Structure 1
Amino acid sequence: MPWSNQSGGPWGQKPQGPWGNGPQGGGQPPDLEDILRRGQDKLKGFIPGGSGGARGIAAIALGAVLLWLATGFYTVRPDEVGLNLIFGKYVGKTGEGLRYNFPYPVGSVIKPRVTTVNTIEVGQRTGDTTQRISQREVPEESLMLTGDENIVDINFTVQWQVSPTNPEHYVFNLKNPDASIKAVAESAMREEVGRRNIQAVLTTDRGPIEAEVRRLMQVQLDEYGAGVEIRQVQLQKVDPPQQVIDAFRDVQAARQDQDRVRNEAETYASRVVPEARGEAARIVQAAEGYREGVVADARGAAARFTQVYETYKTAPAVTRERMFIETIEKVLGASDKVILDHGVGQGALPLLPLGSLQAPAPLQPQAGGAPRNQPGTSIQQGAGR
């Protein structure tokens, strides 16, 4: 049942509400015109000379202008740069501290953070769900073609920050910074991976790839006027595609075995080759020594023959006698012998075992090359020859 002031409502005959007395003054709403009139009367008391005074209007306008101008002060933090705009046009930038620009709507200030390092993931997405970190692969970004027409799965991150020297380029030239930087990063990585073979990408070229991709990204973003500095490019995962990773591991194991066998062969060669070269040098030196000895002996024999011939021309008889004696000495000096006088012992002495009476004595070469008997060799010289 609707509440009525005539009947007093459901709580009795008197006009009372549920919290005590009911609305006073018969429940009539307040007079809005009376409230506005009272406000105007109070305002007239504060304005000198009444509402129609020019001085009062000027004071109000001046106060409003000063209050509006005071709103132009702003503070730039140490990690920020202030970009001043007037009627939407960029007019300059300011450093940290208390600064001033025309207040809104004439002027405005944009304060990008230039020391914050931002990270962009390419090939994967990392999220924190239910108090644990989860990663989600993005194959359309991670699968890339190498220079030898193989496919490699690469996940990497890019760390970047707003350029402190050109923050206005970042603010006014990039509509979607994260998407633009990710597109440039993916393009640079595909270009660099396409220049290399998959074996180098998987093993030795990680560092060069990171450095080259960072350089390519910085050059491209500078050409765009992006106002972004690339701090680091870091490869997180470089693997063959999941479908063929076992085959690639087998190939990698075979390459390692190949390298091991090659190293063993090179080690063996480095040991055997010097030995063979040393033996060859020894043989060559021995042959050269033998050649020099033979040549020297031949030259000595030729010189001796020449000297004997010259002597023979001077005294033939003496030379023949000397040559005969030297020849007999060479022939008989190396054999066991007993010399008997032909005039003595014609009968019995030849029957004696003369060969066993003395042991053969070793021969010693003379200065002229002919052997001679050792002391103690008994030779019986006959009366005649």
Structure 2
Amino acid sequence: MSLKRVYTVTGLIIAVIVLTVVLFSSWYTVDESDQALIMTFGKAEETITEPGLHFKLPWPIQRVEKLARETLKLEFGYNEKNGKTNETKMITGDENIVLADLVVQWKITDPKKYLFHSEKPQEILYNATSASLRSIIGSSKIDDALTSGKAEIEANVRELLTSLMDKYDVGISILAVNLKDVELPNQEVRSAFTAVTDARETMNTKINEAKKYENKRMNEAEGEKAAIIYKAEGEKSARLEAARGDVAVFNKLYEQYKTNPDITRERLTLETLEQVLPGAEIYIMNDDGNTLKYFPIRPLEKEQAKQSNEEGGSEE
């Protein structure tokens, strides 16, 4: 075989290899759950998020880094690894020990920063999650961590974790924080806390019952008060009306008195005697004390009443 032929065969082999490399390294696919970052001589260029078949310059001019575009999950707390449980203990603000279990939902929003601003961005996220959770638990009371304060703790952890990740600037965004579980470290402590919780619930129940009874008695007292005031207002109105009537009667008598004082005085005397002594017979006497033929007031009144009754019966 001549040297020329050897060179020719070698050149053909090299050309086939180069063509094969160019052919297979000039296209790539992006899944719906992925995003691709184009690297030109090691420099980050554009980010491809559209799924499907895409073309690029052959290697080693350009290469592709694929990253997840979907929501990722970080579990912090009780992680099963090699059959062992990693217990995460932390101290509350009132110096009690609890075990926390947290899930963080996060997403890669800037592939350039995720790849080049840090060597281990997920480790940074894990450490920031730990710091955020311990900080918030450390400023919370154990009752809040174990009972009704979980939602507030979640919100505070998310806010703090988001601010930390913004400062680290590694291209990660926090979507949600879910505090799965907060427990006491052992059964003895759990039993003691349960007893305290039961006692507190009993206390709250008694307080609520007392407030309910207090409200009931207050309502009854308010009702009685309103009834007394209403009755007093009625009596006040009645007495005012009676007083106005007495004033009207007095004014009328006074007008009569001004016209005929003697007659009015005698009439008032007789009416007063009738009221004080309703069954007494009235006699009209002279001033000298001698008994005159008296004017039979009572018999006349009875006779007049009898006649009135008879006339009324005959008309019927």
Using the size of structure 2 for normalisation, the TM-score is 0.74
Q: What is the distance in 1 between the residues matched to 2:21 and 2:220?
A: 97
1:260 is matched with 205
Q: How does 1:38-187 map to 2 (within 5 A)?
A: 41=1, 50=5, 63=16, 65-78=18-31, 79-95=33-49, 96-115=51-70, 117-127=71-81, 136-138=85-87, 141-146=88-93, 148-163=94-109, 166-187=110-131
1:133-166 CA-to-partner distances (Å, cap 9, x unmatched) read xx6142xx331322x4444331222233433xx2
Q: What is the distance in 2 between the residues matched to 1:329 and 1:176?
A: 118
Q: What is the distance in 2 between the residues matched to 1:249 and 1:100?
A: 64
2:170 is matched with 226
CA contact (8 A) 2:111 2:171 kept: yes
Q: 1:329 to 1:91 in 2, by over 3 A?
A: closer
Q: 1:137 to 1:301 in 2, by over 3 A?
A: same
Q: Taking CA–CA contacts closer than 8 Å with sequence separation of 6 or more, which of the two structures ends up with the larger relative contact order?
A: 2
1:271 matched to 2:216? The reply is yes
Q: Percent identity?
A: 30
Q: What is the distance in 1 between the residues matched to 2:89 and 2:122?
A: 17
1:198 is matched with 142
Q: What are the ranges of 5 or more consecutive residues in structure 2 without an aligned counterpart?
A: 284-301, 307-316
Report the AA paired with residue 177 of structure 2.
V
SS in structure 2 at match of 1:111: strand
The Cα of 1:185 is off from its aligned counterpart by: 0.7
Q: What is the distance in 2 between the residues matched to 1:329 and 1:220?
A: 104
CA contact (8 A) 1:81 1:113 kept: yes
SS in structure 2 at match of 1:81: strand
The Cα of 1:255 is off from its aligned counterpart by: 1.5
Q: What is the distance in 2 between the residues matched to 1:156 and 1:51?
A: 67
1:221-256 CA-to-partner distances (Å, cap 9, x unmatched) read 233222223343222321234363333222211221
Q: 1:323 to 1:199 in 2, by over 3 A?
A: same
CA contact (8 A) 1:76 1:111 kept: no
Q: How does 1:327-342 map to 2 (within 5 A)?
A: 327-333=272-278, 335=279
The Cα of 1:325 is off from its aligned counterpart by: 2.7
2:292 is matched with none
Q: What is the distance in 2 between the residues matched to 1:339 and 1:119?
A: 115
Alignment root-mean-square deviation, CA: 3.3
Q: What is the distance in 1 between the residues matched to 2:152 and 2:89?
A: 19
Structure whose alpha-carbon radius of gyration is higher: 1
CA contact (8 A) 2:92 2:139 kept: no
SS in structure 1 at match of 2:173: strand
Q: 1:339 to 1:83 in 2, by over 3 A?
A: closer
2:233 is matched with 288
Q: What are the ranges of 5 or more consecutive residues in structure 1 without an aligned counterpart?
A: 1-40, 130-134, 341-371, 377-385
SS in structure 2 at match of 1:204: coil
Q: 1:331 to 1:77 in 2, by over 3 A?
A: same
Q: What is the distance in 1 between the residues matched to 2:139 and 2:185?
A: 19
The Cα of 1:184 is off from its aligned counterpart by: 0.8
Q: What is the distance in 2 between the residues matched to 1:311 and 1:125?
A: 110
SS in structure 1 at match of 2:170: coil
Q: As a proportion of its length, which structure holds more helix?
A: 2
Using the size of structure 1 for normalisation, the TM-score is 0.62
Q: How many residues align?
A: 283
CA contact (8 A) 2:22 2:59 kept: no
1:326 is matched with 271
Q: What is the distance in 2 between the residues matched to 1:213 and 1:203?
A: 17
